[in-house]
């Protein structure tokens, strides 16, 4: 269940006057938007729906005059509606007002005294049907008992509370009819005036946002250091900054249960919220820092890192956790290495298990996402011509002059009328201080033409890699050799 914000769209609004009699539409002047943090939508503060509203969870909203525990508080009067019907009613004249909620119900029964005429005359209201707690409709019989109702007179319907259906948009329709039968049956075309308005909408208080970062392990160090382009705050390339997690507030300022502006702390309990980083964490120390420079690792990667900033790793070192009290303020994930162990390639994801700010509150949830990745740099060569023509015997010669082994791979590019399938020799390992000779027929199988281009990559330093092709014409023994520069 998502932890959301409740946004009221002109809940305390004035339905503007119409000067025409008959079937008119009530105009709308919207009050300033009211936004509420729904951490206070609490399972201990719900109203039971009646009839068609039964069997659903209706969360309570109440203004400051209501002492209901855990109900979302709004400023006193914020739930009030003021309606200008836009027609006159003579003394002793009778008409009917119908209120229908969508995805909302009365938390407290509405009664006749809840309807107030703000004009010179007095309107005596009587509940004709509905209006009980748990219902979503009420019809009032309205009688002008003193002076006539003027066309500009407003009718106030002050409510101290309401209950909303989960995170569904809630709205209201207010209609006026001449007869009780028309009001009860909502007979089409008979309303003196009618208006439908959205009242409450929902959105997250905070939106967890991940920024993924791709970093490289450097082949020149046998992958025991990060590439200098990824080194963040030290020349020795012993630390790297991975992705970041932030909790930006909703663009609209929200009000929490105390009536003050909501913060990320209103959205979740940091002390018991946990982030889990998944991936290969077997190298070095993983921790969080306040900036992408990862200064906690120190200029040489040797400064002690506070225990609270470190991730707690599982036994297999495939995941690590850290509490919300840290990642709520230190947004960057960092790794500092020991320069003796090789840095593995891999991808990293982050998931967060949020804890409610108060028992029973709706939860902020986050499905997780990519935090970043580690790759190893190396060598790339473009081989312009490879062929499987039966009149040629072509081979690829790969040299590794270095002291460490490294993997290699071919990818192919063909003409539009040719398809290629990689063979068993298209990937493999080049042993240290070795020469590897591959038959082109073992690298690829072509359908269509017998020629293709290839991209060769090796996780080895460019200075240690040699790539060449040799081609023998089987009809005359002529040999053609091409050497490719890195």
Query: Percent of the chain beyond pLDDT 70?
Result: 79
Backbone angles phi, psi at 376, to 5 degrees: -110, 130
**Which residues have C-beta within 8 Å of that of residue 258, sequence separation ≥ 6?**
none
More confident residue, 66 or 155: 155
Which residues are CB-neighbours of 279 under 8 A, at least 6 positions away?
A: 318, 319, 346, 347, 348, 349, 371
Tokens at residue 154, please?
Answer: 């407003």
Q: What mean pLDDT is predicted for residues 205-214?
A: 84
Q: Which of 201-215, 285-299, 338-352 has the highest mean pLDDT?
A: 338-352
* Cβ atoms 459, 431 nearer than 8 A: no
The proportion of the chain whose per-residue pLDDT surpasses 90, expressed as a percent, equals 34
Beta strand pairing status for 392-400 and 434-439?
antiparallel
Residues 146-151 have a mean pLDDT of 79
Q: Confidence band (pLDDT; 50, 70, 90) for 395?
A: very high
Mean pLDDT of 435-459: 95
* Burial of 45 from C-beta contacts in 10 A (0-12 / 13-18 / 19+): buried
Residue 259 is predicted with a pLDDT of 52
At 299-346, the pLDDT tens digits run: 444 567 888 889 999 999 999 999 888 887 778 898 888 778 888 889
pLDDT classification of 27: cutoffs 50, 70, 90: very low
CA distance 334 to 324: 16
* Cα(365)–Cα(245) distance, integer angstroms: 14
Q: Which of 383-397, 402-416, 434-448 has the lowest mean pLDDT?
A: 402-416
Neighbours of 145 (CB within 10 A): 12
Considering the chain, what is the average pLDDT of its residues? Answer: 80
| Pairwise pLDDT comparison (133 vs 363), residue with the higher score | 133
Looking at the predicted structure, is the pLDDT value of residue 120 above 80?
no
- In this prediction, residue 427 carries a pLDDT of 94
186: phi > 0 → left, psi -120 to 50 → alpha, else beta; which?
Answer: left
Q: Quick count: other Cβ atoms within 10 Å of Cβ 29?
A: 12
Task: Write the DSSP symbol of residue 255.
Answer: B
The first and second tokens of residue 110, run together, are 């509405």
Residue 92 in this model has a pLDDT that exceeds 60? yes
pLDDT band at 219 (very low <50, low <70, confident <90, very high): confident
Which of 343-347, 371-375, 382-386 tops mean pLDDT? 382-386
Q: pLDDT confidence of 232, banded at 50, 70, 90?
A: low
**CA 240/CA 332 separation, integer angstroms:** 10
Q: What are the sequence ranges of the domains in the chain?
A: 5-203, 209-376, 379-484
Tokens found for residue 172: 């209201």
Phi, psi at residue 166, to the nearest 5°?
50, -125
The arithmetic mean of pLDDT across residues 123-134, rounded, is: 91
Say how far apart CA 454 and CA 386 lie, in whole Å.
Answer: 7
* Helix, strand or coil, per DSSP, at residue 425: helix
- pLDDT of 67 over the 70 cut: no
Model confidence band, residue 254 (pLDDT cutoffs 50, 70, 90):
low
Residue 12 scores a pLDDT above 50: no
* pLDDT surpassing 70 at residue 379: yes
**Which pLDDT score is estimated for 297?**
57
Contact at 8 Å (CB) between 103 and 75?
Answer: no
* pLDDT of amino acid 234: 56
CA distance 328 to 47: 34
Which residues 6+ apart lie within 8 Å of 359 measured at CB? 44
Report, as an integer, the average pLDDT of 19-42.
43
Per the listing, tokens 């709308």 go with: 28
Q: Which helix (H) or strand (E) holds 440?
A: helix 440-443
């Amino acid at each position: 269940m998502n932890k959301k914000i409740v946004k009221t769209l002109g809940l305390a609004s004035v339905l503007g006057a119409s000067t025409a009699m008959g079937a008119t539409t009530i105009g709308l002047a919207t009050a300033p938007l009211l936004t509420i943090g729904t951490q206070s939508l609490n399972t201990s503060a719900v109203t039971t729906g009646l009839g068609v509203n039964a069997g659903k969870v209706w969360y309570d909203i109440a203004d400051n005059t209501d002492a209901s525990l855990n109900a979302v508080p709004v400023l006193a009067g914020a739930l009030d509606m003021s309606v200008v019907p836009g027609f006159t009613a003579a003394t002793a004249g009778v008409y009917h007002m119908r209120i229908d909620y969508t995805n909302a119900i009365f938390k407290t029964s509405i009664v006749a005294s809840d309807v107030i005429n703000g004009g010179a005359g007095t309107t005596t209201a009587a509940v004709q049907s509905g209006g009980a707690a748990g219902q979503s409709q009420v019809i009032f019989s309205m009688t002008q008992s003193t002076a006539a109702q003027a066309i500009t007179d407003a009718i106030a319907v002050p409510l101290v509370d309401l209950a909303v259906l989960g995170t569904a948009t809630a709205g209201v329709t207010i209609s006026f009819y001449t007869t009780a039968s028309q009001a009860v049956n909502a007979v089409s075309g008979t309303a003196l005036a009618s208006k439908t308005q959205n009242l409450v909408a929902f959105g997250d208080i905070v939106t967890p946002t991940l920024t993924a970062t791709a970093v490289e392990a450097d082949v020149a160090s046998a992958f025991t250091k990060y590439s200098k382009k990824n080194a963040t705050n030290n020349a020795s390339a012993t630390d790297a900054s991975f992705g970041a997690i932030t909790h930006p507030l909703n663009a609209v300022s929200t009000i929490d249960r105390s009536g003050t502006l909501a913060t990320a702390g209103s959205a979740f309990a940091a002390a018991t919220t946990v982030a889990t980083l998944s991936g290969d964490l077997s190298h070095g120390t993983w921790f969080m820092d306040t900036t992408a420079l990862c200064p906690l690792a120190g200029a040489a990667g040797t400064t002690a890192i506070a225990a609270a900033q470190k991730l707690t790793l599982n036994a297999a070192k495939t995941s690590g956790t850290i509490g919300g009290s840290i990642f709520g303020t230190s947004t960057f994930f960092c790794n500092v290495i020991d320069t003796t162990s090789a840095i593995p390639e891999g991808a990293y994801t982050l998931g967060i298990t949020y804890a409610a700010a108060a028992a029973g509150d709706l939860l902020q949830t986050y499905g997780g996402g990519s935090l970043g990745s580690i790759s190893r740099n190396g060598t790339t060569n473009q081989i312009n011509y490879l062929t499987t023509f039966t009149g040629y015997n072509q081979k690829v010669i790969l040299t590794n002059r270095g002291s460490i082994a490294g993997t290699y791979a071919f990818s192919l590019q063909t003409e539009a009328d040719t398809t290629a399938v990689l063979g068993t020799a298209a990937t493999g390992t080049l042993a240290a201080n070795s020469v590897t000779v591959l038959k082109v027929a073992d690298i690829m199988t072509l359908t269509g033409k017998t020629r293709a281009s290839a991209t060769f990559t090796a996780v080895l330093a460019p200075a240690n890699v040699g790539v060449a092709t040799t081609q023998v014409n089987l009809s005359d023994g002529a040999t053609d050799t091409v050497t490719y520069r890195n």
